[in-house]
Chain A
Amino acid sequence: MEAQFAIAGKDFVVSVTDKNVVHSIVKMKHTQDKTWQLLPMTLMSVCGEPGDTDSYAEYIQGNAKLYSVRNARDLSVGETANFIRGELARALRSRNPFQVNLLVAGYDKEKKEAALYWIDYLAAMAKVPYGAHGYCSYFLYSVMDREYTEDITLEQALDIVKKCIAVIKTRFMIDLPDFTIKIIDQNGTREIEQSDL
């Protein structure tokens, strides 16, 4: 019932996640940030089984930072995504798998390009121009398929985000009042409000 999607351009990624925390039929919180800043240039948004999401994200964040400390070098987005997928695949074959779906967004300073990785709880990974998870993906893919262009600008991407949120608000059964909208580019991550779109 969560909404999570992201759109990548040549040198930026916009990541959008809803802010709801739901337990049974009760909305426990509506201000949760479901994204994790793994590294200055890498942002991960997580949805799935409550509990699994946090513990897996913390584990990944810890290991990403540990790598930086040990090697005096940050993992790139691609390297991080591959590590995340690998750990998810390993856990999947153990007695305690994580039921988490992820989007890993980031800017690769060496390649000078932005990248977005789509990873599901079965540890399938794809490098995508745009991606989504959860029920909302059934609405959002059609919007993004129509609107996305290869040489998309940030302004155009934010416009798509606006349209995506509009679709969620009109067609999705669950009320998702607010979203965490973050932009990752060569300057790092910054957050914008829904009203700024």
Chain B
Amino acid sequence: MDFAQFQQAPVSVPTEHHSHGNRWDPYVDNGGTSLAIAGEDFVVVASDTRQSNGYSINSRYSPKAFELSNGSVLATTGYHADALKLVEHIEQRAQLYFHKHDRAMNVSAMAQMLSGILYSKRFFPYYVFPILSGLDAKGKGAVYTYDPVGNMERVNYQAYGSASALVQPFLDSQVGFKNQRNADPSRLLERPQAVKLAIDAFTGATERDIHTGDWLDLFIIDQDGIHQTKRELKHD
């Protein structure tokens, strides 16, 4: 270990120019945060709607959580253009499935398919961190999380995006009951609590993360379908 590695200036100023010349870079991180919390017979999905690039805000209302044709919701973070293309890709495949089987895809099938779609682009990935939410075959809340190349996991809750470091520990504590003695970690929240925590998580994240804010898209998925509401977050 030598000292050279520590000899950079104490504070590095973020610049828009890349140091490694003007190499073509097809990816941008558009910031923003998404989360999902599963309940016994519902799922709460929340995404902020700010779309940014570095210090610039491209849009204050650019939704990154999408209702899909089969009644599930895909919440994304990462590169917005790829997210839009991914939704198209999923819907195309869902359409094919629909015509072939005369039935909408259930969530677990779509979850598996999404993993396949992502991995099919293993060497030029969609730069997207998707969270797929819906009700499973038994009507239970289901949340599937992915990395950009298709690693998949079914979880009870997840936060992704620019404020995930802020929100995930909060969900660990309040939804996963981590570090609490005599708590049942598999206990699922009631709907009002889940909605309250999702909102609390975003008001907190908006306070400290510059890439998160403006508006909150809230989806509650249950037997009756998807209920969407819009709330205001701070615009600064």
Contact = CB atoms under 8 A, between A and B. Distances in A.
Q: Do chains A and B touch in the complex (CB under 8 A)?
A: yes
Interface of A: 97, 99, 121
The 4 A-B residue pairs with the shortest CB-CB distance, nearest first, are A97-B3, A121-B1, A99-B2, A99-B3
Nearest to B1: A121
Contacts of B1: 121
B214 to A, nearest CB: 43
Contacts of A97: 3
Interface string B1-44: 11100000000000000000000000000000000000000000
A97 B3 CA distance: 10
A128 B51 CA distance: 49
Nearest to B3: A97
Nearest to A120: B1
A99 B4 CA distance: 12
Nearest to A97: B3
Nearest to A121: B1
Nearest to B6: A122
A99 B2 CA distance: 8
A121 to B, nearest CB: 7
4 contacts: A97-B3, A99-B2, A99-B3, A121-B1
Nearest to B2: A99
Contacts of B3: 97, 99
A56 to B, nearest CB: 16
A139 to B, nearest CB: 18
A59 B157 CA distance: 58
B5 to A, nearest CB: 12
Contacts of A99: 2-3
Nearest to A92: B3
A48 to B, nearest CB: 9
Nearest to A49: B2
A136 B2 CA distance: 18
Nearest to A101: B1
B42 to A, nearest CB: 45
A121 B2 CA distance: 10
A82 B191 CA distance: 57
Contacts of B2: 99
A90 B42 CA distance: 61
A170 to B, nearest CB: 25
B3 to A, nearest CB: 7
